[in-house]
Amino acid sequence: MLPKIDWDFARADIHFATHGLHPYPARMIPQIARRLIEMYSLPGDKVLDPFCGSGGVLVESMLRGRDSFGIDINPLACLLARVKSTPIDPELLMSYWEKLRAGIEKDIIAARFKQIKVKVPDFSGTNIEYWFKPYMIEELLIIKRHLDEIGKEANLGTKKIREFFNVCFSNTVRVVSGAKKREFKLYRMPKEKWKKYRPNVFEVFKNRVNDSIRRMGEFYELFMGNSLKAKAEVFEADTRKMFTKEFPEEARRQLHEESIDLVVTSPPYGDSRTTVAYGQFSRYSLIWLGFDKKVISEIDKKSLGGNTREKNLDSKILIDVLSRISEKRAADVKSYFVDIEECLDKIYKVVKNGGHACFVLGNRTVNRMKIPTDEIIVELGSRYGFDHVATFHRRIPSKRIPWKSSPTNIPGQKVETISKENIIVLRK
């Protein structure tokens, strides 16, 4: 008998190298991505993550010598995925940082002594004052102005440097804001705590930069130590639109039919109100990074299950589940699976014959009923011609459970959440 493989990785360091650059909800742990990449692909193969989030699959693909592609609708996810999978020499980062640090520090001191006036852009409709105190806004604006200057005078290779520091900045925004830490939804800290809360914005930024340069150094060393120099590319796009005109041209060129050896992905859970609210999580980072308010407000609507959709789905398991939950929730769950099915169709097309598609996700509960998403994916996948190879299980250590909110959205009121992840392997 084969020894049982341990998929729990309970004591694994999931933050090593660039994996720990910035938080992101419901991350796939690098150890699972790595194992799937090693089991189902070879060096030189192409890997796709059609819901790449912060890009852990891309980082692991690079470190195993596989070129990879990531797709995500969330611009913050795309920024994180790009930065995490772009090796930069830490000495180069240090040289930029020394100049930046001196300039920012000088301006922050001058602003504190009212020697310079900081121009505040139009933040209307963002409710920014609720989450940031006036001094925070002023100092964040000074840092951002310096980051925007990176590369203005220099060569084209500076985009990756600016994006690296933008990730440190996004982290700073998260730390100094009045949002409760360790929550992926936006809840403000209690009034009394907020009154006394006075973090030193520049100190926070400095710490984030130093920590991030160290992590990038670790990634750079691992990458340089691998003789196969793999590349990663990230597309801000909707996976449902693959192969259509609405998909970016460059992505269409790279992701044509039968172009991918392996898909490794963790799709969203659907229903941002009760599971992971990617829009809320990203909101203030994106506002501060200067993204369009409309783009930000549409993230959750664009996410799988974000719009009501109706279609007859060929899944007995799903039909049975839908008949046991309330009509309103059944419509939400169905919309999600209509979207999932559309993605399975695209994923089937993009994978080469004999290639694999691996999905990592837990089964969520609706109206106290477990939705067997793993079985439904296997059933829907088989309609397109996917064979079910295996489903592995991982127990999630309690502190890493992807979300802990209640369906009523009342903070503190907990219900059963996801404590087990399924790893579904399909073959074309």
Ligand X SMILES: C[S@@+](CC[C@H](N)C(=O)[O-])C[C@H]1O[C@@H](n2cnc3c(N)ncnc32)[C@H](O)[C@@H]1O
- Side by side, the strands of the sheet bearing 67-72 are 232-236, 67-72, 46-49, 260-265, 351-361, 420-427, 387-395
The verdict on 24 binding ligand X (CB under 6 A) reads yes
User: From the list 22, 27, 133, 364, which residue makes contact with ligand X (rule: CB under 6 A)?
Assistant: 27
Q: Which is nearer to ligand X, 37 or 304 (CB)?
A: 304
The verdict on 266 binding ligand X (CB under 6 A) reads yes
Helical ranges in 177-244 per DSSP H: 191-196, 201-224
**Cα–Cα dist 414/151, whole Å:** 47
User: Which residues neighbour 15 within 8 Å (Cβ) at sequence distance 6 or greater?
Assistant: none
User: From the list 18, 61, 74, 373, which residue makes contact with ligand X (rule: CB under 6 A)?
Assistant: 74
Q: How far is the CB of 139 from ligand X (least distance, A)?
A: 29
Q: x/- string (CB under 6 A) for ligand X, residues 29-58?
A: ----------------------x-xx-x--
Pick the piece of the chain touching ligand X (CB under 6 A) from 117-125, 165-173, 262-270, 380-388: 262-270
The closest of 320, 371, 164, 343 to 243, measured between CA atoms, is: 343
**Cα–Cα dist 135/139, whole Å:** 6
User: Which residues neighbour 59 within 8 Å (Cβ) at sequence distance 6 or greater?
Assistant: 17, 18, 19, 30, 84, 85, 219, 232
**Cα–Cα dist 51/72, whole Å:** 5
Contact 25, 276 (CB under 8 A): yes
* Three-class DSSP category at 67: strand
Pick the piece of the chain touching ligand X (CB under 6 A) from 9-17, 195-203, 237-245, 413-421: 237-245
Angle between helices 278-288 and 159-176 (to 10 degrees): 120
User: Which residues neighbour 81 within 8 Å (Cβ) at sequence distance 6 or greater?
Assistant: 52, 53, 54, 55, 58, 70, 72, 232, 234
Q: How far is the CB of 383 from ligand X (least distance, A)?
A: 20
The verdict on 255 binding ligand X (CB under 6 A) reads no
Q: How far is the CB of 319 from ligand X (least distance, A)?
A: 24
User: From the list 45, 72, 138, 163, which residue makes contact with ligand X (rule: CB under 6 A)?
Assistant: 72
Token pair listed for 289: 């990074």
Question: What Å distances lie between residue 239 and 73, 242, 247, 273, 293, CA to CA?
Answer: 8, 5, 8, 21, 22
User: From the list 40, 184, 223, 278, which residue makes contact with ligand X (rule: CB under 6 A)?
Assistant: 278
Q: How far is the CB of 236 from ligand X (least distance, A)?
A: 9
Q: How far is the CB of 179 from ligand X (least distance, A)?
A: 19
What residues between 301 and 360 interact with ligand X by CB under 6 A? 302-304
Q: How far is the CB of 74 from ligand X (least distance, A)?
A: 4
> Among all chains, which residue has been given the structure tokens 């409760």?
180
Rg, C-alpha atoms of the chain:
22
Q: Which is nearer to ligand X, 133 or 356 (CB)?
A: 356
Pick the piece of the chain touching ligand X (CB under 6 A) from 188-196, 264-272, 287-295, 330-338: 264-272
Cβ atoms within 10 Å of 66's Cβ, excluding its own: 26
Pick the piece of the chain touching ligand X (CB under 6 A) from 148-156, 200-208, 232-240, 380-388: 232-240
User: From the list 58, 59, 73, 318, which residue makes contact with ligand X (rule: CB under 6 A)?
Assistant: 73
User: Which residue is closest to ligand X by CB?
Assistant: 53
The verdict on 71 binding ligand X (CB under 6 A) reads yes
User: From the list 35, 146, 240, 334, which residue makes contact with ligand X (rule: CB under 6 A)?
Assistant: 240
The verdict on 168 binding ligand X (CB under 6 A) reads no
Q: Which is nearer to ligand X, 217 or 268 (CB)?
A: 268
Contact 64, 34 (CB under 8 A): yes
Q: How far is the CB of 107 from ligand X (least distance, A)?
A: 34
Q: Which is nearer to ligand X, 54 or 68 (CB)?
A: 54
Q: Which is nearer to ligand X, 177 or 272 (CB)?
A: 272
**Residue numbers of the site for ligand X (CB under 6 A)?**
24, 26-28, 51, 53-54, 56, 71-74, 77, 238-240, 266-268, 278, 302-304
